Chain A
């Protein structure tokens, strides 16, 4: 009997704890937005964070995009071939990348590459009292440290997602046209005919902006909220990657059901 009570108490505590953290994260998000003015106006600060979040993620994004495109090309060709419509390979590769794989996989990679790095950086600054020191110097750490990192991530994410999709399409082209002999003209023209810029490309970019906001917020919040010890920071990094992945996939479902409902 007491075991059941203990279990219920434990579960209840977990739920309350999650809701409590969600509330803190929301308040933190509001504070970051309110204190973003200076960060957006001070260009060198923002530039450093775009470099940190975006440029340093370039290699992994470009290489992964290429490989995902190669695989899509191979698998897509194999399936389309059965129905004698291998010329639709371009359409298939482009649509799956632009609508889903580009934004989602790029965001997952971004969370594990840049998100974890942002959490680690802020967490270590907290653990070594750099944030407290800044506060004592009358410089608000949320405005000076958190806000530029947040916006650096939000700006980098859609650029990375577009690069991922572009590399993937080139990978699909490489496999389909160069190695498997799909007609070059058919590959591009079937793609162009059925991919709509506003509907497919723009919705994908919009998705990646939302993912960028979510991942960047989770990363800066976990860093800022971490326990100021070595284990605390490493736990925060793990939480960033796990929470980001869940948030990306859940948001993707919600966004997809809004964007691509009942459309051709």
Chain B
């Protein structure tokens, strides 16, 4: 495939947090129009990766290019111009608590367009209709359930019809029904908008059902990758441990510690 078929190029991406390496040389290519999942254990740097793509963090080494432009080399104004074409769903929605559901979804439209109020109203109601919450427009965020808040945040993330949508743990803390609803919405919105989606998650089953491609990250590196079929058929011990949810495997159950016998017996002798 030629370069133009990929929206996001990540090359040898490294990132340190307070001197502790989080990402150590990630290579990824996200094809246009697809839904790609990035999976890995908690705290493996998945969210950091999204924030590097969005330009909220600067890489220690390596580069992130979106639409063939390096994010880390952009000026503030250029980055903001770019972000208007990106949508991001935060882990718990991050709805503005002082604004109603309607005003939350209308927020990007009001900030970035000079559209008359009637048109903003129509566009906002269309987005809310797409996530099935047109009837909840006057509620405040604290009156919403977790799943509803996530859907409102999704409507807000796609308010400006972005080319790239990023999802940070969209399934965390949802009941099975809400989880399925969000999964379908992500797929449907991606296809309807002709956008590209990157989803960071550790929910294996839902992801295998709806995404086009999966990257596994472990210890700051890409540990495995492939389409859902390839992943299911994979003999890779890491992938196998992850999918079958086994406690021990390449990802060890125990935090590295001194030998148990030595520690317990040693303590008794003191």
> Which of A's residues lie within 8 Å of B, judged by CB?
121, 124-125, 128-130, 132-140, 144
Contact = CB atoms under 8 A, between A and B. Distances in A.
Contacts of B90: 129, 132-133
B97 A125 contact: yes
Interface in B67-99: 80-81, 83-84, 86, 88, 90-92, 94-98
Interface stretch (B107-115, B213-221, B240-248): B107-115
22 contacts: A125-B96, A128-B94, A129-B91, A129-B94, A130-B95, A130-B96, A130-B97, A132-B90, A133-B88, A133-B153, A134-B96, A136-B83, A137-B84, A137-B88, A137-B107, A137-B108, A138-B80, A138-B81, A138-B84, A139-B108, A139-B112, A144-B111
Which size class do B's interface residues fall under?
A: 20 to 34
Nearest to A136: B88
Contacts of B153: 133
Contacts of B170: none
A124 B141 CA distance: 14
Contact of B92 (A128, A134, A136, A140): A128
B210 to A, nearest CB: 23
A88 to B, nearest CB: 50
A132 B84 contact: no
Contacts of B80: 138, 140
B56 interface: yes
Q: Which 8 A-B pairs have the closest CB atoms?
A: A133-B94, A138-B83, A129-B94, A138-B80, A136-B88, A129-B90, A138-B84, A139-B111
A136 B86 contact: yes
Given A129-B94, A138-B80, 17 more contacts: A121-B98, A125-B96, A130-B95, A133-B90, A134-B96, A136-B56, A136-B83, A136-B88, A137-B107, A137-B111, A138-B81, A138-B83, A138-B84, A138-B112, A139-B107, A139-B111, A144-B111
